[in-house]
Chains A and B, each alone.
Chain A
Amino acid sequence: MSRGGLGELEHQTMLALLHLRDDAYTAPIVEELESRTGRDTTVAAVYIVLRRLEEKGWVESELRDPGPEGGRDRRYFAVTEDGIARLRRAREAYAALWDGLEATLGTGKGA
């Protein structure tokens, strides 16, 4: 796996993080992914992807007090500037690839 490559689960996880904003720790991330993609996902897979994204510098994490909810510190994840740039590049690449295929594949909404 090359350093600049963006795997599918990595891609999805970063998007899920952006959706979750400030509430992105492991359990909600898994649930977010499951509810948005409709596929079962294991905590292990997501956790490993998060660690890899951290290594690549596209995601950062910090231990934080969960706030009014109470309980112990949790590890919250967030997408970095580099991560966002990488997502943008991915979207451009996909957009270029999708361009002209609407007739074949539909618009993607409610298909």
Chain B
Amino acid sequence: MLPRRDRTLLLEEFDRLWERRVHRDGLRAARAWYRRETLAFATRWPLERFRRTTTTMGEGMMDGIRQLRHTVRGLARVPGFTAVAVATLAIGIGANAVIFGIVDRALLRSLPLPESDRVVQVFEGWFTNLATVEILQGGLTTVTAIGAANDAGGRTLEPADGPARRVTVAEVSPEYFEALGVVPRLGRLFAREESEPGRGGVAVVSAAFWRTALGGTAGALDGELVLDGVSHAIVGVLPEGFDFPSARNDVWVPVVMDASNPGLHWGNGSYSSVARMAPGVTPAQVLGEVMAFEETMRLANPLWTPNPGFWEGARVTPLQEARARWVQGPLTVLLAAVAVVLLVVCANVANLLLSRGLARGRALAVRSALGAGGGRLAREQLMESAVLAMAGLAVGLLLASWSLSLIRPHLPAELPGAAQVGLDPRVVIVTAGIALVTALIAGLLPAVRAARGAPAAALRQSGRGGGASRSRRRTTRVLVAAQMAAAVVLVVSAGLLARSLFALQGVDPGFVTDSRVTARVHLAPGLSGDPAARAVLLDDLAAALSRDPALGGVALASTIPFGSEDEYMATFIPGVTDDPNELPMARHHRVTPSFFEVAGIPLLRGRGLADTDRVGSPLVAVVDETFAQTFFPGEDPIGRIVRYPWRGAPDIEVVGVVGSTRHGDLADEREATFWVPLGQMGLGPIGHAVVVAEATGEPSAALGAVTARVRGLDDRMAVSELLRYEERLGASLAGTRLMAVLLLVFAVTALALGCVGVYGVAAFSVREKLREIGVRMAMGASTAGIRKEVLREGLLLAVPGGVLGLILAWPATRLLEGLLFGVARLDPVTFIAVPLILSGAALLAVVVPAHRATRVDPAVVLRGDG
């Protein structure tokens, strides 16, 4: 209650006054007085203390604001310097915001699911069948739910109004949603019994689909969706941005758990399984329990008996990690790259601040002499870099939001959270942190110099600024060298990726893409399940398309290379392997006979497929060169037998060999492939066919013709994926191209900043040596000689940084290893080209200073006015 400073003193004084009061006014009055005093201190002193603190704080703040105003005014007086510094910082900060925004969504942020750390992928990286999941559902105690989902597939949606169109549908078990813990935005999800055979008939939809296709009202829950001719009641809407199993899904329907159909139950291994661990359980415990069911899973299989050890290497991984695994490498590279750009930016701004510090040297020196302490000067310097960084942050965030809108459409759909990437508060806060650190790093050196005797040195200097401190020059040179080194690392990385991209573009896919168009045709739903009617329809379709003058050759297929779906088949090859555990997986396509001709795939041996290879005639297949070399090395494959993996599958005779093609990724090794006649094998349960046709004129006209002809045949058939074949190939390069472009942008930025640094040093050094140059020119030195000397000096400035950069690039490119194709990590072409590029850039940077040096007028300089 009493002020700490004078507590005992005051108590004593109170005693003294108390005695006098008692003596003067009597005990009663003295007591009243004492109470009044106590109350006064109890109420007034705390108020006073509060006033004192706020005043001190307010004064501190006022002081800060004054200093801020002073700094801003100072910067406004040098708009050129400020603009360059802010722009430089904005580039570095903006680039970091963009990449951090992407990385945060994909790798750092936990999945938008309740207690998402309990959600795991069982058999990570593998696909499994529903029967296996069912066994685990019945037995696992370490999980509260385990469900299955297959990747998105297309189905034909027949809206009540308008033409049929394709939607992307995932089949999931009811437990899949349970395992994720997702809560519907509207309505409900699936009940467990809805995956029993004969039930189903329900669907839930994505929030985006609900909004765009269903009007976004609660009334949508009363509606139904007709998918491939089957009606589904809409029972729920998933939350915004829900992207499990993939962001492409419009509609989710329940899987059918039908143990009475072993071909589908055991044979369709296209499901991924997700589980929710019980509280306190680790993925390792779940894996242990899964492996305890190995014997059950092995022996229950009615189709074949896997060998013991079949599940060796199975993994149970947190879902977030499993989803992010494939993007981790590229994102790490990008993150490293923007960090390097930011360091270059820091060095650049530090250099700018240093040269500005020099320009202000005399002013600072005067102030220092007048008593401004080193600490204060350092604080001012830091304040200046902080102000610059905050301006850089503001501009950088604008830049970032603009670049994100540019990049977002090009982000791969498989990138987790790609659709939500943006400048949310979290990204802005982290970016602000980055900006502060940047300010600190960039301002540190100049601040230290301001605090130390630099100003005093400036005062001692001649007014001409002739002998700038040697240590400052050394600092600048070191900073420029560091910038150059960092730029070189980035240029090497970008160069390697660009070379990979070129190598990929140069890969022969094994078929012709020029003027070839492709489309997916979704058969009329009423036909499902009737093979004869389908065969007729396919014939009609092929005939209708062939009649169109915009289309040359026309072929149909179940799947095509670089299509949106893959077909693999475990294949019995008598004489090679009969062991179901050892069956090789081969690519499998069902095509019409014209396919090889339309796609320009050469027939190497035997015969191709023929129109006579139809239902009822002997089963035939054409294999590709890779298949022949892999399974029949040195032998004639013609006449050999292959079989599908199920029991009682008939023999298929190999009648021809065609050239190998790439299938989904130009970087992949060739895969063994066999082609069978579509007219003989039919489409099976697939509800769509792919059209490949040669355009006789404009590809766009050909694509229009495909749509028109299909609609003309039956307007219940939907057409999707209308693409030139080149676009499909191009799409497979999109990831590599995006990486290469981003790295190239970063590399060019870093190099440009490095060159600004070289320019700055060269220009400064010319200014410093004006007198010397003047003297030498007066003595008869040639302008060519002077120019050459400045150029040489500039180049020499870039050399140590360049060499250091090349040395650093050696280990740094290790990060890139998994991303390169057809080019070695230490590719000599890149490593030779980069120093040349660097020299060119450095030369460009010193051209202006060199020119200026030759324009020196000796008379003027020597008079002392220069």
A residues within 8 Å of B by Cβ? 25-27, 30-31, 42-45, 47-48, 51, 55, 63, 71-75
Contacts and interface: CB of A to CB of B under 8 A. Distances in A.
B515 to A, nearest CB: 86
A74 B13 CA distance: 9
B16 interface: yes
B5 to A, nearest CB: 9
A27 B48 contact: no
B549 interface: no
A51 B16 CA distance: 21
A18 B52 CA distance: 26
Contact of B37 (A43, A63, A72): A43
Contacts, number: 48
Contacts of A71: 12
6 tightest A-B contacts by CB?
A: A44-B40, A42-B40, A44-B41, A27-B13, A26-B13, A44-B44
B9 A48 contact: no
27 contacts: A25-B13, A26-B9, A27-B16, A31-B17, A31-B20, A42-B40, A42-B41, A43-B10, A43-B13, A43-B14, A43-B40, A43-B41, A44-B40, A44-B41, A44-B44, A44-B45, A45-B44, A47-B3, A47-B10, A48-B45, A48-B48, A51-B48, A55-B52, A72-B9, A72-B12, A73-B9, A75-B9
Contacts of B161: none
Contacts of A51: 3, 48
A14 to B, nearest CB: 18
Given A42-B36, A42-B40, A72-B12, A47 B17 contact: no
B48 A45 contact: no
Contacts of B13: 25-27, 43, 74
Interface string B1-41: 00100101110111011001000000000000000110011
A75 B3 CA distance: 13
Given A42-B36, A75-B6, A75-B9, A48 B16 contact: no
A60 to B, nearest CB: 14
A51 to B, nearest CB: 7
B9 A45 contact: no
A43 B17 contact: yes
Given A26-B9, A47-B6, A48-B48, 20 more contacts: A26-B10, A26-B13, A27-B17, A31-B17, A31-B20, A42-B37, A42-B41, A43-B13, A43-B17, A44-B41, A44-B44, A44-B45, A45-B44, A63-B9, A71-B12, A72-B8, A72-B9, A73-B9, A74-B13, A75-B6
B633 to A, nearest CB: 98
Contacts of B40: 42-45
Contacts of B12: 71-72, 74
B775 to A, nearest CB: 60
Best-surrounded residue of A44, A47, A48, A71 (most CB of chain B within 10 A): A44
Contact of A74 (B3, B9, B45): B9
B17 A30 contact: yes
A105 to B, nearest CB: 32
A60 B12 CA distance: 21
Contacts of A75: 6, 9
B510 to A, nearest CB: 87
Nearest to A63: B9
B18 to A, nearest CB: 10
- Give the size category of B's interface with A: 10 to 19
A102 B97 CA distance: 76
Nearest to A55: B52
B37 A44 contact: yes
A43 to B, nearest CB: 6
Contacts of A25: 13
Given A72-B12, A75-B6, A48 B44 contact: yes
A75 B11 CA distance: 12
A71 B8 CA distance: 13
A72 B15 CA distance: 13
Contacts of B8: 72
Contacts of A42: 36-37, 40-41
Contacts of B3: 47, 51
Contacts of A44: 37, 40-41, 44-45
Contacts of B9: 26, 63, 72-75
Contacts of B48: 48, 51
A43 B805 CA distance: 75
A44 B16 CA distance: 15
Contacts of B14: 43
A9 B426 CA distance: 54
A29 to B, nearest CB: 10
A48 B37 CA distance: 13
Nearest to B43: A44
A51 B20 CA distance: 25
Interface in B31-63: 36-37, 40-41, 44-45, 48, 52
Contacts of A74: 9, 12-13
A108 B9 CA distance: 38
A108 B14 CA distance: 34
Interface string B503-544: 000000000000000000000000000000000000000000
A62 B630 CA distance: 102
A51 B51 CA distance: 12
A31 B25 CA distance: 14
Contacts of A72: 8-9, 12
A10 to B, nearest CB: 13
Interface string B826-860: 00000000000000000000000000000000000
B8 to A, nearest CB: 8
Contacts of B37: 42-44
A26 B17 CA distance: 10
A75 B9 CA distance: 7
B630 to A, nearest CB: 92
A41 B568 CA distance: 100
A75 B13 CA distance: 10
Contacts of A27: 13, 16-17
A63 B8 CA distance: 12
Contacts of B52: 55
Contacts of B17: 27, 30-31, 43
A30 B17 CA distance: 9
Interface in B408-467: none
Contacts of A48: 44-45, 48
Nearest to A43: B37
A35 to B, nearest CB: 11
B146 to A, nearest CB: 72
Contacts of A30: 17
A42 B32 CA distance: 12
B313 to A, nearest CB: 76
A67 to B, nearest CB: 15
B486 to A, nearest CB: 52
Nearest to A1: B51
B295 to A, nearest CB: 86
A100 B14 CA distance: 44
Contacts of A63: 9
Best-surrounded residue of A43, A55, A63 (most CB of chain B within 10 A): A43
A72 B8 CA distance: 10
A71 B16 CA distance: 12
A25 B10 CA distance: 10
A110 to B, nearest CB: 26
A59 B41 CA distance: 21
A74 B48 CA distance: 22
A47 B5 CA distance: 12
Best-surrounded residue of B8, B9, B14 (most CB of chain A within 10 A): B9
Nearest to A44: B40
Nearest to B41: A44
Nearest to B33: A40
A39 to B, nearest CB: 13
A42 B33 CA distance: 9
A10 B675 CA distance: 104
Contacts of A55: 52
A47 B9 CA distance: 12
B449 to A, nearest CB: 36
